[in-house]
Amino acid sequence: MLAARHVVCALSGGVDSAVAALLLRRRGYQVTGVFMKNWDSLDEHGVCTADKDCEDAYRVCQILDIPFHQVSYVKEYWNDVFSDFLNEYEKGRTPNPDVVCNKQIKFKCFFRYALDNLGADAVATGHYARTSLEDEEVFQQKHIKRPEGLFRNRFEVRNAVKLLQAADSFKDQTFFLSQVPQEALRRTLFPLGGLTKDFVKKIAAENGLHHVLQKKESMGICFVGKRNFEKFILQPRPGRFISIEDDTVLGTHKGWFLYTLGQRAKIGGLREPWYVVEKDSAKGDVFVAPRVDHPALYRDLLRTNRVHWIAEEPPAALVRDKMMECHFRFYHQMALVPCVLTLNQDGTVWVTAVKAVRALAPGQFAVFYKGEECLGSGKILRLGPSAYTLQKGRSRSGPRRQPQPGTRALSAGSGFGGAEPGGRPAAGLLLDPGAWPPLLPRRGRKDLLLWVCPRPTPSASYPPGGAAGTARNKRLSSTCILTAASVGTGRRGRQGVGTAHTWDLPGVCWEDHPYAWH
């Protein structure tokens, strides 16, 4: 008789991981429970309940009659997750530590501990997610480390394990798993992937797990809970709240890095709500708009860092054609948004949404989906202009500017300004001096900027065959936008980009253009 498969289950002290361990036990596996301590509650006073959670996890193991282990990753969590979290905040970004925690702690540190120290055949968690492998297929794999480099085994790449959405779409947690490495996913079980939350609670109640059944779900930062993170920032950086519409100073704040785009700004003395739409890191100012649906909150273009693909390689269609239709979201439980991905040579991607979405912010993860499959994710680094900028033809601090002498616009632009030949010139786009150099690289003349951006064509405009047509046709039908803008000095002596004129370059692969906006 074959020995039972050994599965090490991560226990958090909550109902989901407890029921996951119970279901594995019922399936006949040899189960070991492990509680991970990732925050030292003795360091400072907060609402972290690590000790109580550990006790609850131990009681689960007693009820299920399985071994219990506790492991500390306080140092690893601080170095790889929390320090990065603080650094991102100080840069004015909006980090998601839950995604990073799963990648660095659960599916790296814990995964290696389970296999190397406890001799596990597989690991399991209480996440609501699924993979393309049945349970027994996980154990039947030959786990041979693949060689790295150009000539690695393509058969294994083509047969990569897929990360699939849970049956309960509301509880689906693939968003938080979008950075999990393929090596770990191949040896991971998600016992709750086909269940609903209500059914999980029913199982817990029927099996004496009442002590975890009534616990409040943790919706805060991974392992840390709710804390006042201002005390981790050494130096307060007070600044002003400024209206995006007329530059009126509305109040003051303690630090621009404490605010994220889309957040309601609490401004003393004002009854009506105002929302954060931009941040000036150089001056410490936070720009706000008066309505929750203000166009300054909406954007339809972003760029990520190098994408982590679950399959380790980009989808074949994206590699072949450089463009691909899919869906994305940038926060948990957000409705999926149709988009077009444009692959860059360095592995980063442009994401063009079919409609503008609210409160995109650098630092968040854009997670990509094709049907029920989670393809992977990339951290948002740059944003396109807001709907307000496109409507007004200027940025927050830029007055309407006339074209510089000697510039001639051949066709109307798509939101960066421009003018018809002989027609009324549009207003220019003025950027902060700290923002335009990396986004709009200076080329040629000192007083002129040239750059190229992609403008993907909607499916309805594709050649015959529509969205089902070849991706090659889709690529050729996209529009490449060449933009020229003068550099000058705006109001308050701020250097910026003046009136921008654009030319459409149909059929041109924007990424290969010498002035590509990378």
- Cβ-in-10-Å burial (0-12, 13-18, 19+) of 242 comes to buried
Q: d(Cα 338, Cα 316) in Å, to the nearest integer?
A: 19
The 8-class DSSP code of residue 216 comes to P
Distance from C-alpha of 278 to C-alpha of 260, rounded to nearest angstrom: 9
Question: Residue 240 to residues 243, 261, 281, 286, 479: CA-CA distances in angstroms?
Answer: 10, 15, 12, 6, 40
Among all residues, which ones are annotated catalytic?
101, 222
Tokens of 13: 């002290």
As beta bridge partners, residue 255 has 237
- The string of DSSP codes covering 153-206 is -HHHHHTPPPEE--SSTTT--GGGGTT--HHHHTTEE-TTTT--HHHHHHHHHH
Q: How far apart are CA 22 and CA 38, in angstroms?
A: 24
Closest CA to 496 of 422, 427, 418, 410: 427
Sheet strand arrangement including 68-72: 68-72, 30-37, 6-11, 122-124, 188-189
Q: Give the number of other Cβ atoms within 10 Å of residue 206's Cβ.
A: 9
Residues in the chain: 518
Quick one: how many helices (H) and strands (E) in the chain? 15, 22
